[in-house]
Structure 1
Amino acid sequence: MKLRWFFVATLIVNQSFAQPDINLTGSESNLLEYSAAFLDINTNSRLGGFGEVGTVTSPFYKNAGVYQNPALISNNGQFAGINAFYEPWLKNIVSDVNLYGISGFYAADSSNALAINFTYFNLGEINYTDNNGYYIGTDKSYEYFIKLAYSRSFNKSISAGIALKFFKSKIASALIDVNTIHSISFDFGLSYQHQYNLNNKSFLNTNAGLALTNLGPRISYVEGEKDFIPQKLSLGLFINPDIYIHKNFRFNIELGYQAEKYLVPTPPAYDFDGNITNGYDPDISSLKALYQSFYDAPGGFDEEINEIKHKFGSEFRLSFLDYGYIAFRHGRHLEHETKGNRNYQTFGYGIGLYGFMLDYMKIKAENDSPLHGTWILTAGYSFNLDKSHLRF
């Protein structure tokens, strides 16, 4: 029961259990606080194996825009597809917490595309007892969102996208009264892609992308307290040599980098009377946080730089015509020690045949990290609408 409540409490205010009561300098651990952290969890095996880089992608993967950057959806030509995933979450801490969901996209032409994504976060059950220890009932905790996205390509290189999320968060608690949350958030994205000819049969695909995700109002789990949701800015760069090696085979090397910064207030430094001595008042609107978050850290510019997370991804893929492929992936997630110290590697594998895809990824972190061993399995089907056969 105590472990369950500790786990639930960290979901109500992300990372709050590690936050010092009084921040004396910007060099000390000074974690950002936000709620509804499930909005920011990666749920796609391919992106996960690729270091969770998803603001940019290659032309080969048609569903990448469903997740982090809606601008990528309309770069598909006339494609459609569907994906389903399953992810046990923090299985080293709790055994009955998991995420699962389904998504789909449809690009009727090369300029316009739509996508939908449903994700459900099962947080397990809490058993209630009376003062004598007798069982009196059970309550469930869960969260979910439904995301609707639209993307438009203005030419072969530039595209933009927007997405709307409806989400609900119900956290069961035997210790305090917790409000059930119903709210919305928005995603915006831009993408620039260009293909260079290396020779008559080989190409170099490049992509630069920007995404603003989870922009929305503050929410309140506990009366009198308002929390931010994980508003975030992501910038990505991508390069992909697509090499002809045989009339039936192509070899691809994909390399990606993504920088991320949460657009929420940095907790200021306080004196022992609770007065702010350095930094800015964090009790502001979510709109003001979009720009104040760039200069409000009590540690100044150095602390602002420390708030940037770095993600690196690589993939090696061998394709056989448009019939199938096999892929191997590796990624790195780097976060400063004063901002959470969530540093880990990701490994992933993928196989596709006649439009069917199966992808798997796993996180390797220090053994005492709750993320160590987390894995995702994704199955999907994608087909080309402007061909007589339904393949990649």
Structure 2
Amino acid sequence: MHPRPTVLLLTLLGAAPLVASAQYELDPHAITTAVPILTLSPDARGAALGEAGAATSPDANAAFYNAGKLGFVPYKYSVSLSYSPWLRKVTDDMSLQSIAGYGKIGERSAVAASLTYFALGNIDYRDGNNINTGNFDPKEFAFTVSYGQKLSDNFGLGVSARYVRSNLIGAYGSNDAQSGNSLAVDLGAYYSRGLTIGAGVYNLALGGAITNIGNKMTYADPENASFLPTNLRLGTALTREIDQYNKITLTFDANKLLVPSPYYEDGVAANDPRIEARNDERAQKSIISAALGSFSDAPGGFKEELREINLSGGAEYSYNDLVMARVGYFYEAPDKGDRQYLSLGLGVRYQVFGIDGTYLVPNARQNPLSETIRVSLHFNFNKLEEAFRDNGSGGNTSPID
């Protein structure tokens, strides 16, 4: 018997990859999937807003949150590079890296591509006599191509295709684990409209996306295939232009995994044959059946379904589209992962260059996510009014970032 790679990953980290508990035990209520890093914002701006991004103004990382925003991007070309040392309270050789960019292919559409790479450090394998039998550098990456089309001045749709590879264990001894590979798609929609309320000028944006719709990840045993983190994201953003130099955006997202909830009975061991049989049955569901059933399969009923929704919110202040200050908060129910943290960020834009930085402040003192930073560099070329004779920006292409 060999450990399932997803479970081994939790052991390697000393905590679930995205879970904030310092003394971590795999809670039977928590949902686990393959490649959970796919749900984590790769860029500093999104991280500073508490991971919200379904309806924020589009930038080079727009397709990660909602490919429907791509038709509204404010430049002809844009590229962003992001880096985050990961779990530095636990180890010093893990990191999350990303490069993303887009190009307009007309006044109303754009294509985008991104590569996200998660390095999980180094594993030293030892036998029962504590003799080193080799080492391995586990890693995961996802390559994505996206297309977004603005169907009107206010509404757009987008789609993404993604290749995901996860290599967590490597070959050692009689281990038969293999790299996991999967293909997935995203679907997104975005709506943006200017409003005048009294003397105030506002912009209201709404966004929704279903991401990581793809085949299960198989490492060695097809019977133990794991769902990708198929996710439903709904969000809104309201921007108030205070004057010609100052504006502020309030944004909010809600996220829910569209995968089966684990079956459990409080007071009954997780390895009880009856509990294991129910969970094996759920694991064999098809992608569509699992997604549709994810709204009603929590053992705790409707109240538990609500606890499976992660909440993200943030505020962004911008001065003259040059300097930005951001604050956000991310909430996950204690029995569903217990990620709860405040995020603080700053950003600067000057001509074609920009930089964002974010710092996470978790609720718990002893927390693997403490002192997590994320940095993003941006290179933006040719505003649309400079790239096209007619302004193709439509309803909301003025960059808030």
Are the structure 2 counterparts of residues 238 and 327 from structure 1 closer, same or farther at C-alpha, using a change threshold of 3 Å? same
Query: C-alpha distance in 2, partners of 1:253/1:62?
Result: 17
Alignment of 1:122-201 (within 5 A): 122-129=119-126, 133=130, 135-172=132-169, 176-197=175-196
User: Which residue in the other structure is 1:282 paired with?
Assistant: 282
- Can you give the 5+ residue segments of structure 1 that lack an aligned partner in the other structure? 21-28
The correspondence for 2:87, drawn from 86, 90, 108, is 90
User: Which residue in the other structure is 2:355 paired with?
Assistant: 358
Alignment of 1:255 onto 2:253: no
CA shift for structure 1 position 117: 0.4
CA shift for structure 1 position 13: 11
Query: C-alpha distance in 2, partners of 1:13/1:41?
Result: 8
User: What amino acid is aligned across from residue 375 of structure 2 in structure 1?
Assistant: L
> Number of residues paired by the alignment?
370
Are the structure 2 counterparts of residues 74 and 13 from structure 1 closer, same or farther at C-alpha, using a change threshold of 3 Å? closer
Query: C-alpha distance in 2, partners of 1:388/1:209?
Result: 27
Are the structure 2 counterparts of residues 10 and 373 from structure 1 closer, same or farther at C-alpha, using a change threshold of 3 Å? closer
Are the structure 2 counterparts of residues 232 and 156 from structure 1 closer, same or farther at C-alpha, using a change threshold of 3 Å? same
Query: C-alpha distance in 1, partners of 2:15/2:167?
Result: 14
User: Is the deviation greater in 304-313 or in 6-15?
Assistant: 6-15
SS at match of 1:269: coil
User: Is the deviation greater in 76-85 or in 328-337?
Assistant: 76-85
CA shift for structure 1 position 152: 0.6
User: Which residue in the other structure is 2:203 paired with?
Assistant: 205
User: Which residue in the other structure is 1:335 paired with?
Assistant: 332
Deviations along 1:74-121, one digit per CA (max 9) or x if unpaired, are 112552101111111111111100011211111233311100001111
Query: C-alpha distance in 2, partners of 1:4/1:65?
Result: 29
Alignment of 1:33 onto 2:32: yes
Q: Is the 8 A contact 1:255 1:314 kept in 2?
A: yes
Deviations along 1:130-156, one digit per CA (max 9) or x if unpaired, are 666554543221111110000011101
Q: Is the 8 A contact 1:35 1:227 kept in 2?
A: yes
Q: Is the 8 A contact 1:77 1:110 kept in 2?
A: no
CA shift for structure 1 position 9: 8.6
CA shift for structure 1 position 4: 8.5
TM-score, normalising length: structure 2: 0.84
Are the structure 2 counterparts of residues 120 and 379 from structure 1 closer, same or farther at C-alpha, using a change threshold of 3 Å? same
- Can you give the 5+ residue segments of structure 2 that lack an aligned partner in the other structure? 1-7, 389-397
CA shift for structure 1 position 6: 1.7
The correspondence for 1:6, drawn from 6, 11, 31, is 11
User: Which residue in the other structure is 1:116 paired with?
Assistant: 113
Query: C-alpha distance in 1, partners of 2:198/2:107?
Result: 25
Deviations along 1:301-323, one digit per CA (max 9) or x if unpaired, are 1111111111111011101xxxx
Alignment of 1:310 onto 2:306: no
Are the structure 2 counterparts of residues 12 and 354 from structure 1 closer, same or farther at C-alpha, using a change threshold of 3 Å? closer
User: Is the deviation greater in 333-342 or in 267-276?
Assistant: 267-276
TM-score, normalising length: structure 1: 0.86
CA shift for structure 1 position 334: 1.0
User: Which residue in the other structure is 2:5 paired with?
Assistant: none
CA shift for structure 1 position 199: 8.3
Are the structure 2 counterparts of residues 243 and 63 from structure 1 closer, same or farther at C-alpha, using a change threshold of 3 Å? farther
Deviations along 1:16-66, one digit per CA (max 9) or x if unpaired, are x7335xxxxxxxx611121111211211001111111011113xx432423
User: Is the deviation greater in 69-78 or in 290-299?
Assistant: 69-78
CA shift for structure 1 position 294: 0.3
SS at match of 2:38: helix
SS at match of 2:253: strand
SS at match of 1:67: helix
User: Which residue in the other structure is 1:105 paired with?
Assistant: 102
User: Which residue in the other structure is 2:56 paired with?
Assistant: 57
Q: Is the 8 A contact 2:213 2:230 kept in 1?
A: yes
Query: C-alpha distance in 2, partners of 1:10/1:229?
Result: 19
SS at match of 1:282: helix
Are the structure 2 counterparts of residues 153 and 277 from structure 1 closer, same or farther at C-alpha, using a change threshold of 3 Å? same
User: Which residue in the other structure is 2:47 paired with?
Assistant: 48
Alignment of 1:371 onto 2:362: no
The structure whose RCO (Cα within 8 Å, separation 6+) is larger is 2
CA shift for structure 1 position 342: 1.0
CA shift for structure 1 position 186: 1.0
User: Which residue in the other structure is 1:26 paired with?
Assistant: none
Query: C-alpha distance in 2, partners of 1:234/1:78?
Result: 25
User: Which residue in the other structure is 1:214 paired with?
Assistant: 212
Query: C-alpha distance in 1, partners of 2:17/2:332?
Result: 22
User: Which residue in the other structure is 1:71 paired with?
Assistant: 68
Q: Is the 8 A contact 1:12 1:35 kept in 2?
A: no
User: What amino acid is aligned across from residue 317 of structure 2 in structure 1?
Assistant: F
CA shift for structure 1 position 12: 9.3
Q: In percent, how many aligned pairs have the same letter?
A: 25
SS at match of 1:18: coil
Aligned residues: CA RMSD:
3.0
Deviations along 1:194-236, one digit per CA (max 9) or x if unpaired, are 0124689x73111011110111111123423111111110110
SS at match of 1:268: coil
User: What amino acid is aligned across from residue 34 of structure 2 in structure 1?
Assistant: S
